[in-house]
C-alpha cells in the first residue's frame, strides 16, 4: 500500500521532468498524508499540475468519509470493480513524488522506512482521479494511488507498493486512446532504476510533522555486551 509520500523536488525540476507549462512555486513536502492536498497531472490537462485531495471520492459519493477508504486502488481490481472501472477509462493521473514511506511491524510496534530512487530523481505513481462536489457546493478534485505487488526492494517491508509509471510510459498512461489492456500491463512491480530503502525517524508517524527531519536516518543504538 501507500499511506505517506514525499514531494520535495523543485517546481522547475518538475516542469522539466514532466514537460509541464508554467508551474506555481511548490513548498517541499516531506510527509504527505491522506486527506491532504497534493499536485497531480491528469490526462485531461497533461501539461499542468492540478491540486487535488488524496482520498478518492467518486462524483456520486454522498459521504466524504468514503475517501479515507479509497486512498489506494489495487491494480488487479481496476477493471472488475465498478468504482474504479469507469475512472480507468477516462480519469487517470500521475502523482509525482520523490519517494514513499512504508512501515514494518513487530508486534505492537512499527518502524518507518523511506523508499526512493537510489540515485535520486522523480517517480510518478499511477492514479485515478475524480471531481467531487460537497453538500455545501464546494468543488474538489480527489485521487487515489494505484498499488501493485512489491518489488524485491520493497518486499521485505510490505507485499504492496505504488505502481510507478516509467518516464517512457507516462504519455501512454495519460493518453485517452490507451486500451484497458494496454494500461493494466503498465501496473507491475517496479523494474526501473534501482530503489533504496532505509529506516527513518518515528517523526513521520505524525501527520502534523512535515519537515526535512522526517527523512533523517534512524539512529542506531549500539549496545556494549559484557
User: Which residues have a catalytic role annotated?
Assistant: 2, 102
Q: Decide: 72 and 56 in contact? Cβ < 8 Å.
A: no
Amino acid at each position: 500500500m501507500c499511506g505517506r509520500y514525499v514531494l520535495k523536488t523543485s517546481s522547475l525540476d518538475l516542469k522539466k521532468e514532466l514537460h509541464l507549462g508554467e508551474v506555481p512555486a511548490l513548498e517541499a513536502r516531506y510527509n504527505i498524508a491522506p486527506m491532504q492536498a497534493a499536485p497531480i497531472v491528469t490526462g485531461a490537462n497533461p501539461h499542468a499540475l492540478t491540486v487535488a485531495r488524496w482520498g478518492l471520492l467518486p462524483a456520486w459519493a454522498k459521504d466524504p468519509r468514503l475517501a479515507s477508504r479509497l486512498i489506494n486502488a489495487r491494480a488487479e481490481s481496476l477493471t472488475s470493480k465498478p468504482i474504479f472501472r469507469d475512472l480507468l477509462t477516462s480519469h487517470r493521473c500521475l502523482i509525482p513524488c520523490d519517494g514513499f514511506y512504508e512501515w514494518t511491524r513487530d508486534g505492537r510496534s512499527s518502524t518507518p522506512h523511506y523508499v526512493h530512487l537510489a540515485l535520486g530523481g522523480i517517480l510518478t505513481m499511477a492514479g485515478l482521479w475524480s471531481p467531487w462536489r460537497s453538500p455545501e457546493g464546494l468543488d474538489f478534485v480527489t485521487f487515489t494511488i494505484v498499488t501493485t505487488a512489491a518489488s524485491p526492494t520493497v518486499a521485505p517491508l510490505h507485499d504492496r507498493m505504488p505502481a510507478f509509471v516509467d518516464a517512457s510510459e507516462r504519455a501512454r498512461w495519460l493518453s485517452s486512446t490507451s486500451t484497458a489492456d494496454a494500461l493494466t500491463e503498465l501496473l507491475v512491480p517496479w523494474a526501473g532504476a534501482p530503489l533504496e530503502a532505509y529506516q527513518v525517524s518515528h517523526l513521520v508517524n505524525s501527520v502534523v510533522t512535515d519537515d526535512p527531519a522526517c527523512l533523517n536516518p534512524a539512529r542506531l543504538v549500539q549496545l556494549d555486551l559484557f
